[in-house]
A and B are shown apart, each in its own frame.
Chain A
């Protein structure tokens, strides 16, 4: 069976700075991976290469066996035209640290936008679907609010509903709770927890070690642009084999 997500030997440099230096990661369908690592270790860059917001210099990303952002031509990988990349991105949901809701649209319109754009739904139908999606994150009654009228936790939940709108094969979270006040973290985590329980494939960059332990079936520790150690939480978090992992965990726990 093909993996939901396969990352092979992904390298990425920004000028002279080598941020990813050969990352390998496989996530089976329904798998939940938590990516941990110190700041500047390449976690976010790795996540952004998955939906091709960053083009890998070397290596590839594949979702359900389909290469993302590139195609094989001869012996080389060629970057796909933007239109094709956009089509692929509809299969990969992305939730950013700072929500990035469109402030000029209401919560409902934010969620409906990808439906209108890609599913060619008429606006009323898209709105109806948007309300259903918002209900799934507990915001069925806030559809008419503009993002600035919502709390951070609510905004992040709208962003999750928006990412879910196109029923993606894979959902990416880039530190989804880092921009939130501590008392709002719980509501977002519980939505992610529900998604994990319903078999959605998730890749979560996070600093919430406790949450990673609880919800992830694989924890990957990344440092210096490579995955230093990966395995079930009980192994990586409680019995790390690498000194770098141990050092990091001793700092954050």
Chain B
């Protein structure tokens, strides 16, 4: 049998406070675990980095010559061209398809849906090869009156590998971009559209001034993801005999099988660099569209560095 528990309330003594204490600055609490965990992580990281530089298999002395080799640089330029053009065309077409998906006209809506379905379904290599062989079933493409006279046309067989790569990637990119953009537009609060309607703003103006700027807040991060995917997907243009960065790496390593590892590292380094550039761009674009949403937008790395270097108290 346990003893009945009696609870005794001991009043905490209220300390007599020096009125000066209220004027003191509060020191943040110490965080011993944070320091300990950081130390462990740093040691592991240091060992890893040390290994990279001391392991002779990496053959670092070959890195720079391959990194700046002409064929690789040419490949980088091709990759940049393919990615840049496909990103622009994909985005433009994607906006159109997204607006189509949101249209109340069932024909337009259905068509846009079918577009997304079709171009998301086809594996990119397949789409590239179909585009490559497009001239086989449509030798000429023209603008004119349906079943009537043609005003202007091009010979599809004269398309360069670059054009083929860009067309295929843009078509594919637009399907994904459309869904990203549509999601962003749907995320805009309904009251906003109603307020724009109440002001009598035209549909185009609503889109330009109210809906899209707010939609971009959620579009930009998702589209950034999309673009990084595009950089890597662009390596598939190798299928249409376009020598991009990946193609250049591939050719180079078959010519220098003894330098396989350094060449692979060079390829990886270039893709890392390109993606880093995109991420930095995305950071600033996101920051721009965060206007008005947060009380203060996040500081840029430069601002952070400056704050770190400024002595406390001066801030």
Chain A residues engaging chain B, CB cutoff 8 angstroms: 51, 53, 82-83, 85-90, 94, 96, 98, 100-106, 113-114, 117-118, 146-149, 162
Contacts and interface: CB of A to CB of B under 8 A. Distances in A.
B210 A102 contact: yes
Interface of B: 191-192, 194-203, 205, 209-210, 213-214, 289, 291-295
A82 B104 CA distance: 14
A96 B191 contact: yes
A98 B191 contact: yes
Contacts of A87: 200
A103 B191 contact: no
Report the 3 A-B pairs with minimum CB-CB distance, sorted nearest first.
A146-B292, A100-B195, A86-B200
Contacts of B295: 148-149
17 contacts: A53-B194, A53-B197, A53-B198, A86-B201, A88-B200, A89-B197, A89-B200, A96-B195, A102-B192, A102-B195, A102-B209, A103-B292, A104-B293, A105-B292, A106-B292, A113-B209, A148-B293
Contacts of B198: 51, 53, 89, 94, 96, 100
B92 to A, nearest CB: 22
Contacts of B203: 82
A96 B194 contact: yes
B202 A114 contact: no
B202 A83 contact: yes
B309 to A, nearest CB: 29
Contacts of B200: 85-90, 114, 117-118
A72 B208 CA distance: 34
Nearest to B203: A82
B176 to A, nearest CB: 25
A89 to B, nearest CB: 4
Contacts of B194: 53, 96, 100
A104 B205 contact: no
Given A89-B197, A90-B200, A104 B191 contact: no
Given A96-B191, A98-B191, A113-B209, A104 B291 contact: yes
Contacts of A101: 195
Contacts of A162: 199
A52 B152 CA distance: 47
